[in-house]
Structure 1
């Protein structure tokens, strides 16, 4: 992967945990530990050109080199939505699964992500935003969302070998 950032060549850390599981703190920690810059939903939302970079991934034809140009790690969405594809594309990368209590996770999602998506209802359509809209529909029902959260975490644990996975619950500090 080409990069304008000195010493940055490929993803070294892939965050597989859902948003609202301490991913912003994990982003800060990874950057302090030398695994930055770290891609997070903030990048997607604050860089107007980034949603277009994700279009191919959301359409099933990812160009990871373009998406992660200049980044050494990724946590949160949209990267976490592609954890399996990223783990396969970057087999040397370690995977971090950030988790938390499912009930408190859902309460946090309801207070943040769902509210944000409601405010974007009039935004122009694109594959990335459509994916986020579908996500908000999927997580609007508490029981369905918690089941999905738990199934996701178990799928990551089952797919990623133990020597490559850090399973980190946010209350561990």
Structure 2
């Protein structure tokens, strides 16, 4: 483990993931990996509930990590991997809250309410994100704007206070390659810094997911009605 991302989601963590991988510090673990990797949702759910974690097992094959769920455990990770550098991604708190509420919070709550009945993966995702993020990080009060902003600001200050200055980069991805590469001691690539997964992109994903699950729900309802009609015919 070379780099630990301590910043909350929606602070440019996906752009940082891509950047680290282009710098040769990947694969980089991200919420996407937590959702896709077999058994990982359960591992993070257990961790959020206080179970001991074999971190080398979680990060087997990865050279860096950013975003939730790992950033919730930044204290544990900085202790387990004392040689790893820490990158704390930051942004202005007000736009961060709006972006988070309009994207991953909407998606997470919608998955729990609508998609989970159809997909076991969605049920695992909903349980994990609730335990790690909405309850674990925000104490079940993310919709309380002032509380969520206070949690965000407190998190930044706690990381600043706990991680030695020479091990920590407080970083806005808008700053581009130079401060990141200088901190990591690697050359600056001859290409634009990646900027991915913005709010409009996230909203598009949410719309597509709603259409897909809506179609599946309609198909399920139609199948149920058809099955019921056939059952009545057989009983007639």
Which TM-score band (shorter chain)?
0.7 to 0.9
The correspondence for 1:86, drawn from 77, 88, 109, is: 77
Q: Deviations over 1:5-34 (max 9, x none)?
A: xxxxxx111000000000000000000111
Summarize the Cα distance change of 1:88–1:34 in structure 2 as closer, same or farther, 3 Å threshold: same
TM-score, normalisation: structure 2: 0.64
TM-score, normalisation: structure 1: 0.86
The residue that corresponds to 1:42 in the other structure is 32
The correspondence for 2:59, drawn from 68, 79, 82, is: 68
Q: Give the superposition deviation at 1:52.
A: 2.3
The residue that corresponds to 2:203 in the other structure is none
Please report the RMSD computed on the Cα atoms of aligned residues, expressed in angstroms: 1.8
Summarize the Cα distance change of 1:70–1:171 in structure 2 as closer, same or farther, 3 Å threshold: same
Q: Give the superposition deviation at 1:53.
A: 2.9
Summarize the Cα distance change of 1:88–1:157 in structure 2 as closer, same or farther, 3 Å threshold: same
Q: Give the superposition deviation at 1:45.
A: 2.1
The residue that corresponds to 2:12 in the other structure is 22
Answer yes or no: is 1:119 the counterpart of 2:119.
no
The correspondence for 1:166, drawn from 156, 169, 172, is: 169
More helix as a share of residues: 2
Unaligned stretches of 5+ in structure 1? 1-10
Summarize the Cα distance change of 1:133–1:100 in structure 2 as closer, same or farther, 3 Å threshold: closer
The residue that corresponds to 1:153 in the other structure is 156
Which of the two has higher C-alpha Rg?
Answer: 2
**Secondary structure in 2 aligned to 1:163?**
helix
The separation in 2 between residues aligned to 1:48 and 1:111, in whole angstroms, is: 28
- The structure with higher relative contact order (CA 8 Å, sep 6+) is 1
Unaligned stretches of 5+ in structure 2? 117-122, 177-236
The residue that corresponds to 1:138 in the other structure is 141
**Secondary structure in 1 aligned to 2:86?**
strand
